[in-house]
Amino acid sequence: MAEPNSLSVSEVNRIIKATLQESDGLKNIWVKGEISNFSQTASSGHMYFSLKDATSVIKCAFFSFQSKSYKGRPLKNGMEIRLFGSVSVYEPGGYYSLSVQKVEELGEGDILLQIERLKQSLSEKGIFDPNRKKPLPKFPKRLGIATSPKGAAVEDIIRIATDLNPSIQILVSPCLVQGDEAAGSIAGAIRELNDPKWEVDVIIAGRGGGSFEDLMAFNTEAVVMAYYHSKVPIISAVGHEIDRVLTDLAADATAPTPTAAAKLAIPNVTDMISRLEEMGQRLKHSLSNRTKIGKEKYQGLITRSIFQNPYTILETRSIHVDEVMNRIGLLGKNFLIQKKSEFSRTEILKMRMEQYIRKKKQDYELIQSRVEHFSPLGTLKRGYSVLRNQKKEVISSLHQIKEKETAELILSDGRLQIEVTGKTKE
């Protein structure tokens, strides 16, 4: 039996290219959709992006010789546009795309608007509040991984984690990471790792890189809330470079790739052991130096004379005490002598005061006797009296008083009221 003719890959791609590019239904057509995975080559100015709707995606190329006529806003992810072009096939790569000739802006894409609305709603509920984030354990014993068991992400995480800590225990909770059922699968895997029976210390949940559409599961409310409700500290590890997914905001920590997440979750045990050994050597060296210094100080102390003959310090102190006591005794004697001299001066002063008082008493008695001698009262005591009229004037002549007039007679021991009955001139 003759072997049938076989077509080469290039021949197949050539046939596909001719078929698609010659089809009138794929020439000069208008296509509407939302931009994703946008990139621009700086040197050439060519723009490459995907145009998507709710279920499908098509690659697009907007070359610089066509895009120079575009006057609208700069193209970006999430922008809803209508473009005019034709389907072309890149034969070496075996894929087709839209060769864009003209672009018209329609508005923001529905998918990005939905994500933005969800982000705003969850933020208002405090789902993204930094104050509620849990710290990652410093020395985890068991690592939980929620990702696809077939992707490169799980292999990278396991490899890095075991390199950093060969004794780390790893528990993988497999789940879908893209597609319609991915959201429920990821949320279920996270809940399973939170079961206390597994004793997981930290969780890494995510996937490797992909297009915007591939990462959509990590922008759903179900997955975001699974991150939020995780009792175990959780790291969001979705491989992307530009757009952030909502799980990044809800997780306790974020890493740009699964590999970076493993490095964030697991400490490098080898480095820690080396550091501890280095610290141990430094501590040993420090203790050795301190011991050496202590011995030198001890030797210096015990060689001092005070330690050789402790009584010397007592002798010195005794001599000092004797000197102090002698000074105190001398001061006491001088004090007594001074006070005795002061007391003697006081006795002399007392004698002089007594002499002064006796002299003054004698002077007083002399003056008293003289006063009594010349005093009218003294005269009255010798038998004399004083006669005064009613005006208290002393009567020394008959013409100073009249008959029948009352007068006062002053004696040495009293006074008499008398009436003049007659006058006789001497």
**Domain residue limits, the chain:** 9-108, 114-129+139-267, 380-419
Burial class of 140 by CB neighbour count within 10 A (0 to 12, 13 to 18, 19+): buried
pLDDT band at 174; cut points 50, 70, 90: very high
Least confident of 115-129, 130-144, 382-396: 382-396
Burial pattern 119-132, b for ≥16 Cβ within 10 A else e, equals beebeeeebbeeee
Q: Of the CATH numbers 3.40.50.10550, 1.10.580.10, 3.30.70.20, 3.40.50.300, which one belongs to the domain with range 114-129+139-267?
A: 3.40.50.10550
Average pLDDT in the 197-219 region?
88
d(CA 389, CA 404): 12
Q: What is the DSSP string of 274-306?
A: HHHHHHHHHHHHHHHHHHHHHHHHHHHHHTSHH
The three-state secondary structure class of 267 is coil
Q: Give me the chain's average pLDDT, please.
A: 85
Fold entry, domain 9-108: OB fold (Dihydrolipoamide Acetyltransferase, E2P) (2.40.50)
User: Which of the given ranges, 48-52, 67-71, 284-288, 406-410, has the highest pLDDT on average?
Assistant: 48-52
pLDDT band at 108; cut points 50, 70, 90: low
Q: Each residue of 390-422: pLDDT tens digit?
A: 778 878 777 777 777 888 888 878 888 888 888
Going by the DSSP 8-state scheme, the letter that residue 71 receives in this structure is: -
Structure pTM?
A: 0.48
Least confident of 67-71, 235-239, 323-327: 67-71
